[in-house]
């Protein structure tokens, strides 16, 4: 699965899970998307298990998960790191 596919799957998961199909890439999911702490855990599991992107403790910052674009950038960074 390439990065474009991972970004598309991430967007689909977030918008479907939050019931916000018109969520923009820079919309803060905790403010406009209604994300909760439980959703945050589900999101981490999705990124690790479904997208195959291992996350470290340092990655678990709110800024990395606030928007779809921020999550996609984090996934890109993780792929660039050997």
Both structure tokens of 33: 């998307």
CA geometry: angle 26, 45, 14, nearest 5 deg: 30
Indicate the pLDDT class of residue 82, thresholds 50, 70 and 90.
low
* CATH number of the domain bearing residue 70: 1.10.1200.10
Distance CA 12, CA 69 (A): 13
Q: How many secondary structure helices (H) and strands (E) does the chain include? A: 4, 0
Decide if 67 contacts 13 (C-beta within 8 A).
no
- Predicted pLDDT of residue 79: 82
Question: Could you tell me the residue range of the domain that residue 30 belongs to?
Answer: 3-80
Q: What is the mean pLDDT of the chain?
A: 92
What backbone torsions phi and psi does residue 14 show, to the nearest 5 degrees? Answer: -65, -50
Task: Give the whole-number percent of the chain exceeding pLDDT 70.
Answer: 98
- How many domains does the chain fold into? 1
Reported as a single tens digit per residue, the pLDDT across 14-44 is 999 999 999 999 999 999 978 999 999 999 9
């Amino acid at each position: 699965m390439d990065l474009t596919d991972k970004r598309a799957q991430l967007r689909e998961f977030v918008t479907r899970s939050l019931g916000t199909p018109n969520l923009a890439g820079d919309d803060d999911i905790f403010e406009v998307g209604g994300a909760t702490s439980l959703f945050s855990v589900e999101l981490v599991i999705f990124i690790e298990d479904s997208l195959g992107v291992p996350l470290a403790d340092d990655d678990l910052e709110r800024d990395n998960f606030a928007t779809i674009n921020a999550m996609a950038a984090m996934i890109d960074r993780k792929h660039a790191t050997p």
